[in-house]
Amino acid sequence: MKALVTAATAALMLTGTAMAQTTTVVTVPGEVRTYITEQEVPSVVYDGDIIVGTELPSSVEIHTIPSNDAYGYTVVNKKRVIVDPHTHRVIEVIN
């Protein structure tokens, strides 16, 4: 029984390590952050946590950045978020 618990623990540890390796850190240019913080857009209500990796529903309007089409933004639950405009995944939450 002890060997089974040890094997299960090892398997869980390896799984956690593999998951951590798949996390991608995106460095958003400073001018993108500056542009987003200067824009006035209404906040939408989203029932859930807004964290990096969250995929926002298509009903949430993503605003474009004229000088950089690699990033989009919106305001959700009064938090400004940078998103991938193609996938609607949150890249960064700006507090």
Confidence (pLDDT) at 1: 52
Q: Is 52 exposed, middle or buried (0-12, 13-18, 19+ CB in 10 A)?
A: middle
Q: How confident is the model at residue 95 (pLDDT cuts 50, 70, 90)?
A: confident
Q: Does 68 score more than 80 pLDDT?
A: yes
Confidence (pLDDT) at 41: 95
Say what percent of the chain tops pLDDT 90: 67
